[in-house]
Amino acid sequence: MIKPPNVDAYISRFPESTQALLQQMRDTIRKVAPEAEEVISYAMPAYKLHGILLYFAAYSAHIGFYPTGSAVAAFQQDLTPYKWAKGSIQFPLDKPLPLALIRKMVKFRVAENKEKAKLKKKAT
């Protein structure tokens, strides 16, 4: 798969039902982290704010959400309905996205990256 030039191009590659979920994911992230830069990294949508915040991607049966290992660990109890691993969560395409959970995880990652940036600044 060729790296898409932007997130709109990435989303447009998928069936309409998947596009709708990807757009919901995108809109949710952008509302919670409006200052984050939207980029394509590793051929998937990514958001940067004092470093990478998270990634997401579409697959044949799920939306992959990659909020890093710290966020997955912090919200482990909320993830029991989903397949997940150290830094990733799979949201099935045939179910609504858990937007409230996604919002909480994005907020967590924004706070985490801002804190890391503050500590880094103090150290210099």
State mean pLDDT over 68-77.
96
Q: Break the chain into its structural domains and give their ranges.
A: 7-17+32-123
pLDDT at position 1 is 61
CA atoms within 13 A on the CB side of 50: 14
For 85, phi then psi, to 5°, come to -140, -170
Helix (H, G, I), strand (E, B) or coil at 9: helix
| pLDDT more than 90, % of the chain | 90
The answer, yes or no, to whether residue 32 has pLDDT greater than 90, is yes
Residues 6+ apart with CB under 8 A from 49: 33, 35, 36, 37, 110, 113, 114
Tokens of 104: 């909480």
Domain 7-17+32-123 indexed as CATH 3.90.1150.200 = yes
Write the single-letter amino acid at 75. F
For 67, phi then psi, to 5°, come to -90, 15
Q: How confident is the model at residue 121 (pLDDT cuts 50, 70, 90)?
A: confident
The answer, yes or no, to whether residue 124 has pLDDT greater than 80, is no
pLDDT at position 123 is 73
